[in-house]
Amino acid sequence: MHSVALHACVALAKPLQRDAVAYVNPSVNGGSMLDNAGEGNGGEPMNVIVSGLSSPDVLTDDGIVNFARAIGFSTECFGLHGGGAQSANLGDGNGAVNQTLELREDYDDAGVGTCLESLIGGNHFRVFRQNGALANTGALFLAVSQEEDLAHHHTISEDGYNVGRDKLVAAAVGDTSFGDVSYSTTAANVTGLLPTGADGINHGIALDGIVTVLTVEIV
């Protein structure tokens, strides 16, 4: 009896097997492609997905930071963050979970360049990971937007969600590298995940409804 019970406990403790798919649409299991911007402000679109079929090392916290640095983003200025974290329900069974990371345009200086972004504005994105029991893809959902400068309280720029996505994708596609790690990235646009228009969107900024899925391979 003790042997059987021990075997059952070991089996239950085994990590979940990752689903071999690019991502699962959060709405299938009650989630949303809009995060929660807080204070009744509506949501911000998760308009880029780093596919769960990417190289596994890319999908870790350290891995997405290194990839971000390869495409012109880095961690926040001296690790400081103004404003509250946003949350998202990716329909993976974890419910609403706060962002894992927030990364900002680094203006070609991975060390302190994000301090400049904090002053003059630029592109930035929040990272959410789909890894619950209902959709354990490992995919990273990115809420990308172009924002204004400090004087304008970092509000989202006009058409900032579409513009931010397109700028990030343009920087990512093709061959990039950082810290002796080289990447090859392809992109595919998907419709039907996000709404179009401004209804329910933070700052009332309209969306074109496109999500770009990036497959990032370490080469």
- HEC profile of the chain: CHHHHHHHHHHHHCCCCCCCCCCCCHHHHCCCCECECCCCCCECECCEEECCCCCHHHHCHHHHHHHHHHCCEECCHHHCCCCCCCEEECCCCCCEEECCEEEEECCCCCCCHHHHHHHHCEEEEEEEECCECCECCCCEEEEEEEECCHHHCCCECCCHHHHHHHHHHHHHCEEEEECCEEEEEEEEEEECCCCCECCCEHHHCCECCEEEEEEEEEC
Residue 204 lies in a domain: yes
In a domain, 78, yes or no: yes
Residue indicated by tokens 């609403």: 96
Query: 133 lies in a domain?
Result: yes
Domain residues for the domain of 209 are 21-218
Residues contacting 192, CB < 8 A, separation 6+: 209
**Is 112 domain-assigned?**
yes
pLDDT at 91: 98
CA 36 to the chain's CA centroid: 14
Structure-token pair, residue 68: 């971000």
pLDDT attached to residue 7: 41
Residue type, 200: G
- Could you tell me the sign of the dihedral formed by the alpha carbons of 190, 210, 173, 214, in that order? negative
Residue 130 falls within a domain, yes or no? yes
Is residue 6 a part of any domain in this protein?
Answer: no
What is the overall mean pLDDT for the chain? Answer: 88
Q: How far is CA 143 from CA 5, 125, 181, 210, in A?
A: 44, 5, 24, 12
Q: What is the pLDDT of residue 16?
A: 60
Query: Quick one: pLDDT at residue 11?
Result: 39
Q: What pLDDT shows up at residue 159?
A: 94
88 located within any domain: yes
What pLDDT is stored for residue 150 in this prediction? 65
How many structural domains does the chain have?
1
If phi over 0 gives left and psi between -120 and 50 gives alpha, with beta otherwise, what is residue 79?
Answer: left
According to DSSP, the residues that pair with 149 across neighbouring strands are none
- Positions of the chain with pLDDT lower than 70, given as ranges: 1-16, 40, 78-83, 149-154
pLDDT at 126: 96
Has residue 171 been placed in a domain? yes
The reply to whether the predicted model has a pTM over 0.95 is no
Other C-beta atoms lying within 10 Å of the C-beta of residue 42: 18
Q: Whose structure tokens read 């780093």?
A: 50
